[in-house]
Structure 1
């Protein structure tokens, strides 16, 4: 591919191809093929690319190899963009990203890989936001803005023994990172709480909820909501942040941490004593928040592809005149746009601590092995994965999922033998 490009440039009279300051490359996917199965198409607003380290790292490595191949042909690439359409519902995984997923890929994988190559990462082609309405046409696009990514990883290990037979260990690791918007084309009149500049990539804005209206008097004396004129006792109450007498988008402020992992930790511990051993590993995240799906929270929202409504245990504690301490807004038969607004009610902390693995094992001693004479080692074990999770989220959710849909955590138990002859 690289050789073909270079030959074409020279054929068209550009003998300096690859030496005139370099090229900008948008590493795109193949064109959409009509014979590809439609059920593999991505969904806009989701991360179709699997958000696991091995896949993200492999994709970043692909970029590096792409650049190396062109350099062999004498073509220097000074900048890359991972995709020109970040929210295109096609069958190719790299065509569908959320802002948080893409920021995570660029900040932790693609950015460091391109830094080693001496290549810039262009984070999107963005529409200008400061063009006045008198311009008379669609706002032009330009590569503008500056971001900063930094972080730290730390690991501690301790191995020791007590007496002659008791050995134990402890291992702890911590990873902290941040991707922040240093410069952005924010219109000058944008309130500081709604500007992108100075905030983390993937910052979340919304309304500040102060709870539920308890009486009709509270409703009649409340701030007008631009989202609904049919508020009742049990509706969510929001803060009129800018004090203009109406609840609307201008009252949205930073309300939560980014929805992607920026602070993770894990620790392992275990011991061995006369052939008997126990090993456990915990992992977790903190300073992370996610939006709970409408499909889960609200009784009137149906899951279109499946045609049924998800059951939410919180709805059992909905506000009623006889249950004024209820956590869930008053139930409705039809959509209530006011309660559905992104707010401190439906954007919640996804911090968690999980018992990821636990194994208990026993290994037969050498004296008994020699006596039996059938094998060199014999060990029996029982272990499990995802045995317990501590989180403020409802039990129906896996806090590690990129989206908080109802997706129960899968637990696994194993019983086995490890034998060598």
Structure 2
């Protein structure tokens, strides 16, 4: 009996091990074989939002080599939160990119970043997946629930996204440790099992590329047709001006001025009433032509309105989320220059992590501070608040940001 239990337990453990190992191996579209390098849970206000995973070639452990543009790799994100706003998803990636990368690096790639962030157009539910496969020579292929949405050729986009996870301001300290593979085996196995329990629904996200193709095709027609309408519009006023000259002699000067300033069609009707019946047919033949011009110009206007969204994407080089992330990076740097280990905490061997939220006005003056996460040591907590006061006043809010107040969070880690 005991032997039977041992065998069944051994078989169950063997099945679990093989399933986990299979989940840790993936293959890209070009045939590159990758293995799981790290996995972590990203949280927001103590609520788990998503699980992130990093894949790289087998045996490759160096982060610098993983970032090399000749190295195939993958980033996967599966959402734990349900009905999570797609605007928050877009804002999260853009702000984290700007917070963890120098402005000189991400600013030239604003177009690629905005293109990536605008792929998200509906809320995310539990199990939804974002996958970015980087294939050397091809670029970053962005998938939503196994559907390819975009291929961004610039090889640096992947590194911007990766740095937003492992940079100086990651989603959390534990998340960064997980992505770098620094968690214990038991912690990593637990996250992997949780990750595999999330199943993306293929086809839940729909492509919108056909609509873009239609708008691009309508551009040349919209440009050509207005040129044809401009020619007949210029000729009728000349004829009206010649016909109104005899009227000015017969009538008073103020009356023709009023008819001319109101609209062009009104003087034409008056000419038709005063002229002989022989000239009316000629005028009637002219008026339908003008009506045809107006009728043809009306259907030409809708394609022009459909093509308007495209320039918005191209001209949106000053993105508010990126500006906000860069501003937070600057504010955190101002505080961190005053960071030091309190002497009493060294004596007491105190350690811990602190997360403080700071509220400032447009001029950079501190309005309020709030400890979101405490270290367990009063000495460390007080030291963090003192650092914030020493850094005040902060740099003024950028003019691109709206509002009279600005909130940001600063993480601190004290380790001996």
Q: Structure with the greater relative contact order (CA < 8 A, sep ≥ 6): 1 or 2?
A: 2
* Between structures 1 and 2, the one with greater helix share: 2
Point out the structure with max Rg over C-alpha.
2
Q: TM over 0.5: same fold?
A: no
State TM-score, norm by structure 2: 0.24
